[in-house]
Amino acid sequence: MTTKFLKTLIEDYNIKDTNDIKDMLKDLLSGTIQTMLEAEIEHELGYAKHSYER
**pLDDT tens digits for range 7-21:** 999 999 999 999 999
Confidence of residue 47 (pLDDT cuts 50, 70, 90): confident
Which amino acid type is present at position 1?
Answer: M
Instruction: Using a pLDDT cut of 70, give the percent of the chain over it.
Output: 96
Does the pLDDT value for residue 51 go beyond 90?
no
What type of residue is 24? M
Q: Give yes or no for a contact between 24 and 15, defined as CB atoms under 8 angstroms apart.
A: yes
CB 14 within 8 A of CB 20: yes
Among residues 40, 45, 9, 51, the alpha carbon closest in space to that of 27 is found at 9
> Which amino acid does the sequence have at 21?
I
Mean predicted confidence (pLDDT) in 22-29: 94
Domain positions in the chain are: 3-45
Distance CA 32, CA 38 (A): 10
